[in-house]
């Protein structure tokens, strides 16, 4: 059971919601602020197109590899303790990233940032689910999801402003005051600690299998269509199979995978989340390149356009979260996926003459669709399990998101390798860049259609008991 020093009071619920929402705002702010600074980083560190894609990918890969292990450590030793440690690591890594003198150093710092982010991702929803009653959980999740999108909305704006008026290095520092505030609120505002009291051992073998699977699969995907890439891809898939087999047999698994085999709502909701994050995450990265290279906008101007999608998501998510408390998530989420597929299809038609209004309208459609999908889908994942599996379900929410984001950047890396190649982006390569961006969005639209299938066929959730 969860170890809680005293029953959660209304004040403690509010503090927990504030802490989780602020952290949900900070991590995507950090991520999206860097995306708009990518062209400036390329110029400052002489990075080619392939290395540029590793700046967000390194962050996501380390997050994906360590999210499950940190989730287990949090269950064993305390979710608040791991949460606060993650904030400290992120602040340290951000300062180091702002001083990087080569793209290799920057990528290494992004790995460290990803480690800190994994600590936050593994504990945020779990803390919220531990303190907020089921009847208000959908609304609370909607608020935390909305905070994610506000972070994504503010990131391009603040990152673009910092890059334009100072340098790309400032984009790594803009979130530090807020991260410090969250740390203080968590330490002094959350008096309790939440963990699993049962005697258990850390599943080191499972953590190793999982890390090998994710790293091998990701790196193999990034170097396709080479023969070594195909071999690594197959090896990663085999390692995932070994991981699943091990987790089903061990007494204290890193991740309770039995839910994937026994709970259709949980499994299909997770698959829909994984696929749609794979389809949508690279949108700001791709449009940052398109707007600054093809449309010749400044980082600040590009950031103002990129704010459209997350702003729409942030405004609508609290509303759709409340809807999920009263209506079947399957219907709401599936309708959102249809809108998302339409918006991504529109973006696949980008050309040098495309107007800014067309880009903004496409982002409104994508953002509206994702806002209609995400809170109901998270509510379905968490609400489809009983209370003893809340930690597993919360870990699944973050794992699907991070794996999907990582896959999204991997797909873009593959497409850029096939169409653009390992060259610095220059005017003579702009036609290839346009083809790369268009093909990436076309693949994303097709993936969204696959996600619609899993969302529609997941089954009903309402009426389940915790």
The CATH number of the domain where 97 resides is what?
Answer: 1.20.1250.20
Q: Assess whether 137 and 235 both reside in one domain.
A: no
pTM score of the predicted model: 0.76
Contacts of 171 (CB under 8 A, 6+ apart): 33, 34, 36, 37, 158, 159, 162, 163
Residue of 416, 421, 414, 443 lying closest to 221 (CA atoms): 414
- Map residue 383 onto helix, strand or coil: helix
Q: Looking at the structure, do residues 102 and 236 belong to the same domain, yes or no?
A: no
Among residues 219, 234, 251, the one where a domain terminates is 251
Residues 284 and 232 grouped into a single domain:
no
Q: Which residue, of 251, 274, 291, is where some domain finishes?
A: 251
Query: In which domain, by residue range, is 370 found?
Result: 10-202+252-456
280 and 314 assigned to the same domain: yes
Closest by Cα among 403, 392, 348, 400 to 374: 400
109 and 239 share one domain: no
pLDDT of residue 2: 45
Same domain? For 134 and 89 the reply is: yes
- 462 within some domain: no
User: Is the residue at 361 inside a domain?
Assistant: yes
Q: For residue range 377-435, what is the model confidence (pLDDT) as tens digits?
A: 887 887 777 666 666 676 677 778 878 887 888 888 888 888 877 667 778 888 888 99
| Tally of domains within the chain | 2
- Contact between residue 313 and residue 367 where contact means Cβ atoms under 8 Å apart: yes
Residues 323 and 348 in one domain: yes
Please tell me the distance from the alpha carbon of residue 308 to that of residue 257, in angstroms, as a whole number. Answer: 37
Same-domain pairing of 385 and 449: yes
Which of 38, 317, 359, 298 has the alpha carbon at shortest distance from 150?
A: 317
Q: Are 125 and 394 in contact (CB under 8 A)?
A: yes
CB 28 within 8 A of CB 154: no
Cα–Cα nearest to 429, from 438, 419, 441, 439: 419
Q: Are 236 and 213 in contact (CB under 8 A)?
A: yes
Residues of the chain with pLDDT under 50: 1-6, 463-466
Give Cα separations from 83 to 89, 122, 160, 253, 326 (angstroms). Answer: 10, 8, 29, 21, 31
């Amino acid at each position: 059971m969860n170890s809680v020093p005293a029953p959660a009071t209304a004040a403690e619920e509010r503090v927990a919601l504030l802490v989780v929402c602020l952290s949900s705002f900070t991590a995507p702010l950090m991520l999206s602020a860097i995306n708009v600074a990518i062209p400036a980083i390329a110029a400052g560190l002489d990075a080619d197109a392939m290395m540029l894609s590793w700046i967000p990918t390194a962050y996501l890969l380390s997050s994906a590899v360590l999210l499950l292990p940190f989730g287990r450590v949090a269950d064993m030793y305390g979710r608040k303790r791991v949460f606060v440690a993650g904030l400290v690591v992120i602040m340290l890594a951000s300062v180091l990233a702002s001083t990087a003198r080569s793209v290799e150093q920057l990528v290494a710092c992004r790995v460290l940032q990803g480690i800190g982010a994994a600590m936050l991702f593994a504990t945020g929803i779990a803390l919220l689910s531990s303190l907020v009653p089921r009847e208000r959980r959908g609304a609370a999740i909607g608020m935390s999801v909305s905070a994610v999108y506000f972070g994504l909305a503010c990131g391009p704006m603040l990152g673009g402003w910092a890059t334009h008026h100072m340098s790309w290095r400032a984009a790594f520092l803009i979130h530090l005051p807020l991260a410090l505030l969250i740390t203080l609120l968590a330490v002094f505002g959350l008096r309790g600690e939440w963990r699993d009291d049962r005697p258990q051992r850390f599943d080191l073998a499972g953590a190793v299998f999982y890390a090998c699977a994710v790293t091998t699969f990701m790196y193999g995907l990034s170097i396709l269509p080479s023969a070594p890439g195909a071999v690594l891809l197959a090896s990663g898939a085999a390692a995932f199979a070994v991981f699943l087999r091990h987790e089903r047999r061990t007494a204290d698994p890193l991740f309770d995978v039995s839910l994937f085999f026994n709970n259709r709502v949980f499994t299909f909701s997770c698959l829909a989340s994984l696929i749609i994050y794979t389809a949508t995450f690279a949108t700001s990265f791709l449009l940052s390149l398109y707007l600054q290279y093809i449309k010749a906008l400044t980082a600040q101007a590009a950031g103002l356009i990129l704010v459209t999608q997350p702003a729409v998501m942030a405004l609508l998510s609290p509303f759709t979260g409340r809807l999920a408390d009263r209506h079947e998530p399957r219907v709401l989420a599936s309708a959102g996926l249809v809108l998302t597929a339409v918006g991504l299809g529109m973006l696949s038609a980008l050309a040098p003459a495309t107007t800014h209004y067309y880009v903004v309208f496409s982002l409104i459609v994508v953002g509206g669709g994702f806002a209609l999908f995400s809170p109901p889908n998270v509510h379905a994942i968490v609400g489809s399990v009983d209370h003893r599996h809340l930690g597993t379900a919360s870990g699944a929410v973050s794992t699907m998101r991070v794996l999907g984001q990582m896959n999204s950047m991997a797909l873009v890396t593959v497409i850029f390798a096939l169409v653009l190649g390992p060259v610095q982006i220059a005017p003579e390569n702009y036609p290839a860049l346009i083809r790369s961006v268009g093909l990436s969005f076309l693949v994303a639209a097709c993936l969204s259609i696959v996600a619609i299938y899993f969302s529609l066929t997941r089954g009903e959730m309402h009426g389940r008991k915790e």
